[in-house]
Amino acid sequence: MAVILVKGTLSKMSEVDLVRRIGRWGRHAPAPASSLVHGIGDDCAIYRPRGCREDLLFTTDLLIEDVHFRPSTHRPDDVGWKCLARGLSDIAAMGGEPRFCLVSLAVAEWAGARWVEGFYRGLLRLARREKTGLAGGDLARAAKVTCDIVVCGAVPRGRALRRDGARAGNAIYVSGALGGSALGLGARAGKAWKRHLRPEPRLALGRFLRELGATAAMDLSDGLSLDLRRLCDASGLRAEITRPPIYPGATLDQALHGGEDYELLFTAPPRVRVPEEFEGLPLTRIGAMRRGRPGVTLDGQPLEALGWDHFA
């Protein structure tokens, strides 16, 4: 549910400002009897069904032709895979287990029955692996292929990992190495390109971190500099970091500001022993949360929240 920057279109509103405004408008339309535990501004919304031991997580993500993918370089099964992977990554970030998805697909003139079939093939391959049911959706015709996916996940009641849970003194970690997706998008070949096309949602890691006692988590969809800033804003703290682990061949800029790595960014108290790796994936301490005005410093210098530019 990472809200995407709408540059140019809404020139007088920053993304943060717009999300805040929508959140404010939304407060005038509350769900009945506190069943909506957590709303706008995190990876997922949290809904508590009446008399139930589980909380349900909901996330929604748009994937649009010529914004998030290009028909000339992205095969339909890659598009379908990525569409679901983005939603599953939000569920992973909250420590959840996926349950089902709903897929709304608007199909452009150029995309025929074979394209639609390829799209669903890629999406359902990942859905099967991650035990995520396809519950339904909608189909329409449009000028550009536009897909909106909703994924529902579940966590034990009150246990979802949120962005606002970090405390001063908590260590900051990332999984894997960063910048691979941005590198791949530039190169259009090799392992990094595959990583860009078929991101891996870190579902097992997210559940592990929830059980381990992480205090906050989110997925790195828009770049470390922007996403960590969001975690700082939500938790009301600042972050001091050093260089993150960099994907082989990527630049520091790609690791800091490149988006779509879909690794997890998380915080944990010093007493929690975070292992050096989880199922072969490195977990690296990159800094600590401190009291102070929300913001990020890298090796003592302010780090601008550039993040992933969808319109570059």
Q: What is the DSSP string of 174-221?
A: EES-BSHHHHHHHH-SHHHHHHHHS----HHHHHHHHHHT-SEEEE-S
Name the residue among 183, 179, 189 with its Cα closest to residue 263: 179
**293 to 35, 205, 224, 289: CA distances (angstroms):** 32, 30, 18, 11
By CB under 8 A, the residues from 248 to 307 that bind a copy of itself are none
Residue listed under structure tokens 């960590």: 228
Min separation Cβ 309 and a copy of itself, Å: 12
Q: Which is nearer to a copy of itself, 12 or 293 (CB)?
A: 12
Min separation Cβ 200 and a copy of itself, Å: 18
For position 144 contacting a copy of itself by CB under 8 A, the verdict is yes
From 132-140, 192-200, 210-218, 266-274, give the range in contact with a copy of itself by CB under 8 A: 132-140
The only residue of 146, 170, 215, 284 in contact with a copy of itself, by rule CB under 8 A: 146
For position 139 contacting a copy of itself by CB under 8 A, the verdict is yes
By CB under 8 A, the residues from 83 to 102 that bind a copy of itself are 99-100, 102
Check: CB of residue 132 under 8 Å from CB of residue 97.
no
From 12-20, 160-168, 238-246, 264-272, give the range in contact with a copy of itself by CB under 8 A: 12-20
Structure letter (DSSP) for residue 251: -
For position 160 contacting a copy of itself by CB under 8 A, the verdict is no
Check: CB of residue 230 under 8 Å from CB of residue 185.
no
Min separation Cβ 138 and a copy of itself, Å: 5
Check: CB of residue 97 under 8 Å from CB of residue 154.
yes
Q: Which is nearer to a copy of itself, 116 or 187 (CB)?
A: 116
From 118-126, 243-251, 268-276, 286-294, give the range in contact with a copy of itself by CB under 8 A: 118-126
By CB under 8 A, the residues from 36 to 55 that bind a copy of itself are 36, 39-42, 44-45, 47, 49-54
Question: Total residues at the site for a copy of itself (CB under 8 A)?
Answer: 88
Cα–Cα distance for residue pair 292/312, rounded to 1 Å:
33
Which parts of 61-212 fold into alpha helices (H)? 76-93, 113-129, 180-187, 190-197, 203-212
Per DSSP (E only), the strands in the chain are 36-38, 45-47, 54-64, 97-107, 133-141, 146-156, 171-175, 216-219, 238-241, 264-268, 277-278, 281-290, 295-298, 301-302
The only residue of 61, 77, 219, 227 in contact with a copy of itself, by rule CB under 8 A: 61
For position 150 contacting a copy of itself by CB under 8 A, the verdict is yes
For position 312 contacting a copy of itself by CB under 8 A, the verdict is no
